[in-house]
Amino acid sequence: MRINKFIASASGLSRRKADSAILSGRVTVNGKQPSQGQDITSIDNVTLDGRTVTPPATVTTIIFNKPAGYVVSRDGQGSKTIYDILPTAYILLKPVGRLDKDSSGLLLLTNDGDLANNLTHPSKQKTKAYEVTLYKPLQPLHHQMISDHGIKLDDGISKLQLTRQKDGDDVSWIVTMHEGRNRQIRRTFAALNYEVKTLHRTQFGDYSLGDLKSGDSIATEA
């Protein structure tokens, strides 16, 4: 296993931060500073900040129903983070994708890097579904623009599939998409002068939120 992947798995750091820790001399392998791309074997002793670390023996993946008001980060910079409310057994797990602070719903966390890559790589085109509530009814023309033609954003065209949550309700929508650009749903509606009131993810690939309560988590098959 490459050293940056080893450190990331053992510490909860991202691979980018693991690389930084290696470059800054915080990591040793058998008492020596390692090279950036060094492979780690089962007999190597690896330390981070003077403490021996090792990846978990088992693969764990959980579904977490993220409440609104929490950031998906270890460093909230003054805001509450999901790690403030996750059970201690899951604090080393890393999120698969993101939900912004004001959004809620299904968030996957895992220590399985291959699974995370499979779910987030653009080539995989995983379906994501959200329950979205607007502050005002969506006009039919704007519905058509979003679904059929897409809306031009700074980072490209955004096309979303929209389905009413119930007949005659033009405020509450189920939004289905295959991308995952930063705040894409909010920005798409904002481009047409609509503000999102609530945004709640219910599906990510083969994973569904079901009846899991807000703030709760459950282990699932990876």
Which residue numbers are catalytic? Answer: 100
Which residues on neighbouring strands pair with residue 158, listed in sequence order? 151
Contacts for 23 with CB less than 8 Å, ≥ 6 apart: 36
Give strand ranges (E) for the chain: 27-29, 46-48, 51-52, 61-66, 94-96, 104-110, 128-134, 151-153, 156-158, 161-164, 172-177, 196-204, 207-208, 217-220
Which amino acid does the sequence have at 95? P
